[in-house]
Structure 1
């Protein structure tokens, strides 16, 4: 299926209405995973024509996505990656963990942006940045699409590396990147969580033999059960 390529429309609008000159696209990956960090990429692209085939990372076949990420890393003006660990997700909740990862990514840029385009409808970042949220920005905005691809390839590689550790081998992280899958569910039921699992998430409720390991979410986040934390745990 062909998709409309992303454009610089939002970037041009921000330049015209706010005077912003350096604009970063920000996107995350790993929000719905059961294991591993949540990862955010901040990418500054300017208004140049992007490499061919750029769109939301989820719509690009894995091999092409890896190739495109390599091209993008050489093409973007600058980019940086930020993570929030499973322990930080358990302690802070997902919204605060996302912000932490995004702040780390933005802090890693050589020059701080004047404005940020954030994928989605919720501004989990806030000040001091001028933030524009764009639903499906990873399909429509060049900078966000670039951030989406780089973040996805970076986190997939990180999870594949973790998957080589003996404690993680049965979980298939190289294939599922920490997301629920039959292999992942079977290993979790039989072996219990690894040090890389998010122990505050609801999937442990379906595992009586491991339920005692569950961490209690702080009250401020107790009502915010992320989709990955509450769905798909019907073992």
Structure 2
């Protein structure tokens, strides 16, 4: 890829666009070509144990990395796509080393980026820096959801991480939404709407 001629190429990816609860987390990573990391891939194809083994190696060996979480209030205000794009911009700006180019997973580019950028569909499977970012985003979001499980017991956030599993949907029906549920997402919205007779 022609973009790889740049010395500092940042990969950017998110975790948590689809769940019914919790933040969306975005990471940016500039890999060090002198310190390659074996095993980088889209976080979704790696086991939890593989992600947990790779994440500290990425932090230790990358030229720069950042992770940002966009909370429920911003997701509600901006919608999930807008919140994700804002998170991508923030993650790039938070890097301690300024990138010359950002490779962003997906088909949309955020506005006001601090560098040139290219959107790559399924980039987490083809670009090591995006794969590294997906791993950092996923492991951090999983950590946050385990913490939120303690603050909001009964929903099973530590297990399903806010995704719409049968366990989560059943807890929603029993307990109703809690403060970290995304009000704009079905079936959360349905539970909040008054019944019409």
> Number of residues paired by the alignment?
194
Unaligned runs of 5+ in 2: none
**CA separation in 2, counterparts of 1:205 and 1:164?**
24
Q: Aligned partners of 2:65 and 2:158: how far apart in 1? A: 24
Q: Is the 8 A contact 1:23 1:46 kept in 2?
A: no
1:74 aligns with 2:60: yes
* Per-residue deviation, 1:49: 5.3
The match for 2:41 among 34, 43, 55 is 55
Which residue of the partner structure matches residue 172 of structure 2?
188
Pairing partner for 1:201 from 181, 185, 195: 185
2:118 equivalent among 97, 110, 132: 132
TM-score of the superposed pair, with normalisation by structure 1: 0.77
- The unaligned stretches of length 5 or more in structure 1 are 1-9, 213-235
Q: How does 1:203-218 map to 2 (within 5 A)?
A: 203-207=187-191, 210-212=192-194
Hey, what does 1:164 align to over in structure 2? 150
Q: Cα deviation per residue 1:70-102 (whole Å; 9 max; x = unaligned)?
A: 111111111001121111111111222112211
Contact 1:26-1:116 at 8 Å conserved across structures: yes
Asked whether the 8 Å contact 1:171–1:184 carries over to 2, the reply is yes
SS in 1 for 2:187: helix
| Structure 2 residue matching 1:180: 3-state secondary structure | coil
Which residue in the other structure is 1:23 paired with?
9
Does the 8 A contact of 1:102 with 1:125 survive in 2? Answer: no
- Partner of 1:103, secondary structure, is helix
Per-residue deviation, 1:211: 2.0
Residues 50 and 142, structure 1, Cα contact 8 Å, conserved in 2: no
Q: Aligned pair 1:152/2:138, yes or no?
A: yes
Write the distance in 2 (CA, Å) between the matches of 1:211 and 1:189.
13
Asked if 1:97 is matched to 2:86, the reply is no
Q: Counterparts of 2:186 and 2:169 in 1: how far apart (Å)?
A: 13
Please tell me whether residue 116 in structure 1 is matched to residue 102 in structure 2. Answer: yes
Instruction: Using CA pairs under 8 Å that are at least 6 residues apart, name the structure with larger relative contact order, 1 or 2.
Output: 2
Query: Structure 1 residue 175 and structure 2 residue 159: aligned?
Result: yes
Q: How many Å apart are 1:51 and its aligned residue?
A: 2.3
Pairwise CA RMSD:
1.6
Match of 1:39 among 1, 9, 25: 25
CA distance in 2, matches of 1:127, 1:101: 11
Distance change >3 Å, CA 68–CA 127, structure 1 → 2: closer
